[in-house]
């Protein structure tokens, strides 16, 4: 959670994933964040000067996990969803996994971090909706064209809700394993405001929701309902049910 300006405007921190680490000398590493400018906070970030301090709370929540020797692995990035996947893929490669990376966007300019993914020397496949680079269509359709129906696959995905919903449905049908990130509005980042709640797939009598900031943002396929959350949570009455 980054405080994007020194004063109180904007008041709330903004959530970002860790894009990569760069070693600087023997004892120091720099953390990289890859971001898309879409509002007040990210616009302010573009005006920052090198060396200017930035207040950061983290690392928070739960990230991706993998096992060495787990077999066929696909990493699926939708637009800015590629941001937190580079470091994951780098670590997988260091541990001997050979994931195939599928990156997609509406057009070529939306495929982010392509040169860094390429530099890893793994299979890097691209899809754009307008056909300006790689396969014409969605990144999920490209994956479906290239993998066998019956094979076992473990998927790591980060992208917009529509992509996550689609790949979760397909993974369930085909018996694939999947871990994916959930994009939700976050205010506190620590499980206090309840603003980031998502519905559990199998609610228990005492728990219907999981907090994306603390229990995610990465969830297993079976943990949650992969559908966009409804209206934001009222801290007094708890999360609103979709359609209520």
Ligand X SMILES: Cc1cc2nc3c(=O)[nH]c(=O)nc-3n(C[C@H](O)[C@H](O)[C@H](O)COP(=O)(O)OP(=O)(O)OC[C@H]3O[C@@H](n4cnc5c(N)ncnc54)[C@H](O)[C@@H]3O)c2cc1C
Residues of this chain that interact with ligand X (CB under 6 A) are 14-17, 33-36, 38-42, 80, 83-84, 183-186, 217
Binding residues for ligand FES restricted to 191-210, rule: CB under 6 A:
191-196
Q: What are phi and psi of 194, to 5 degrees?
A: 65, 10
| Rounded Cα–Cα distance for residues 164 and 221 (Å) | 10
Contacted by 191, from ligand FES, ligand X, none: CB < 5 to 8 Å by type: ligand FES
Q: Which of 32, 38, 66 is nearest to 160 (CA)?
A: 38
Question: Of all helices (H) and strands (E), which one includes residue 135?
Answer: strand 135-136
DSSP run (H or E) holding 94:
helix 86-94
36 binds, among ligand X, ligand FES, none (CB under 5 to 8 A by kind): ligand X
Q: Is 216 in the site for ligand FES (CB under 6 A)?
A: no
Closer of 124 and 219 to ligand X (Cβ): 219
Residue 188 contact, options ligand X, ligand FES, none, Cβ 5-8 Å cut-off depending on partner type: ligand FES
Cα separation, 18 vs 4, whole angstroms: 16
Q: Which stretch binds ligand FES (CB under 6 A): 70-78, 105-113, 135-143, 186-194?
A: 186-194
Largest CA distance in the chain: 56
- The count of chain residues that interact with ligand FES, using the rule CB under 6 A, is 12
- The CB-of-189 to ligand FES minimum distance in angstroms stands at 5
Single out the segment in contact with ligand FES by CB under 6 A; choices: 68-76, 88-96, 183-191, 198-206.
Answer: 183-191
**Contact at 8 Å (CB) between 22 and 33?**
no
Distances 118 to 109, 121, 137, 193 between C-alpha atoms, Å:
16, 6, 21, 40
Q: Which does 195 bind (CB under 5 to 8 A by kind): ligand X, ligand FES, none?
A: ligand FES
The answer to whether residues 222 and 201 touch, using CB atoms and an 8 Å cutoff, is: yes
Which one of ligand FES, ligand X, none is in contact with 98 (Cβ closer than 5 to 8 A by kind)? none
Which spans of this chain sit near ligand FES (rule: CB under 6 A)? 186-189, 191-196, 211, 213
């Amino acid at each position: 959670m980054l405080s994007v300006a020194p004063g109180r405007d904007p008041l709330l921190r903004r959530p970002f994933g860790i894009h990569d680490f760069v070693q600087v000398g023997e004892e120091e590493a720099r953390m990289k964040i890859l971001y898309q400018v879409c509002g007040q906070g990210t616009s302010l970030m573009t005006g920052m000067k090198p060396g200017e301090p930035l207040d950061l709370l983290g690392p928070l929540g739960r990230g991706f996990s993998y096992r060495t020797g787990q077999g066929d692995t696909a990493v699926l990035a939708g637009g800015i969803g590629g941001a937190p996947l580079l470091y994951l893929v780098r670590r997988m490669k260091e541990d001997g996994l050979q994931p195939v990376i599928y990156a997609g966007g509406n057009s070529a300019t939306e495929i982010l971090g392509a040169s860094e993914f390429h530099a890893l020397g793994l299979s890097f496949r691209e899809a754009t909706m307008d056909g300006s680079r790689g396969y014409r269509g969605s990144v999920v359709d490209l994956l479906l064209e290239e993998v066998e129906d019956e094979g076992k696959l473990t998927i790591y995905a980060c992208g917009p809700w529509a992509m996550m919903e689609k790949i979760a449905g397909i993974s369930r049908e085909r018996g694939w394993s999947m871990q994916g990130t959930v994009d939700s509005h976050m205010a506190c980042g620590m499980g206090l405001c309840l603003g980031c709640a998502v519905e559990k797939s199998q609610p228990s009598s005492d728990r219907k929701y999981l907090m994306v900031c603390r229990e995610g943002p990465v969830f297993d396929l079976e943990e949650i309902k992969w559908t966009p959350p409804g209206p934001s949570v009222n801290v007094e009455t708890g999360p609103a049910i979709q359609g209520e």
